[in-house]
Amino acid sequence: MFLVKDTIEQRDELIKSLEDLDTAVAVVIAAAHFEWTLRRCILALGTNPTKEIKDEEGALYKCCGLDGYKDAWKEEVKNQTGENLAEVVSSWEEVRKAFELRNRLVHGSGGSTGKEYGRDRIDVLLKSARELTDYAEKHGKKIYGNNIVRKEKRE
């Protein structure tokens, strides 16, 4: 669906174009976009070499769920930037609600969503992905358009 070379604007536009077609699908894709952005931020801003972050002992190995990402952020990024994930993402509790909806849709405990409720969740996910992207750029890191490779541990 997305490529690394895609810009955040292209991703936002695609997700927004899906809202009227199928709001539930747009929610799931917006959640995937947010999660991808978050993982890329952890890789770009992290302390350890990117290979280690992804390896069996690394912070992102088998990382899933928002609490898992908060832990990975704390382990890798907080030492570099001084801020917790919930401080960077201004609507963290709303992101949680969006992921609850995403989980219901993906795991089959809820088959659909109302357009307005779904759109609200999509908007918070897009806004939060933008905040993460801006945060990485503020720290001199681009997360779109290139591979993220760091071979040495940061001090």
pLDDT tens per residue, range 26-63: 999 999 999 999 999 999 999 999 999 999 999 999 99
Rg (CA), the chain: 15
The pLDDT, as a whole number, for residue 146 is 80
Over residues 2-30, the mean pLDDT reads 93
| Mean pLDDT, the chain, whole residue set | 94
Residue 14 pLDDT greater than 90, yes or no: yes
Among the listed residues 123, 130, 124, 113, the one whose alpha carbon sits nearest the alpha carbon of residue 25:
113
Residue 1 pLDDT greater than 80, yes or no: no
Please state the domain extents for the chain.
Answer: 8-139
Residue 57: DSSP 8-state = T
The pLDDT, as a whole number, for residue 20 is 86
Q: What's the predicted TM-score (pTM) here?
A: 0.94
Task: Transcribe 82-148 into DSSP letters.
Answer: S--HHHHSTTHHHHHHHHHHHHHHHHTS-----HHHHHHHHHHHHHHHHHHHHHHHHTT---SSS--
What angle do the packed helices 65-76 and 23-45 form, to 10 degrees? 20
The pLDDT, as a whole number, for residue 15 is 96
The pLDDT, as a whole number, for residue 62 is 92
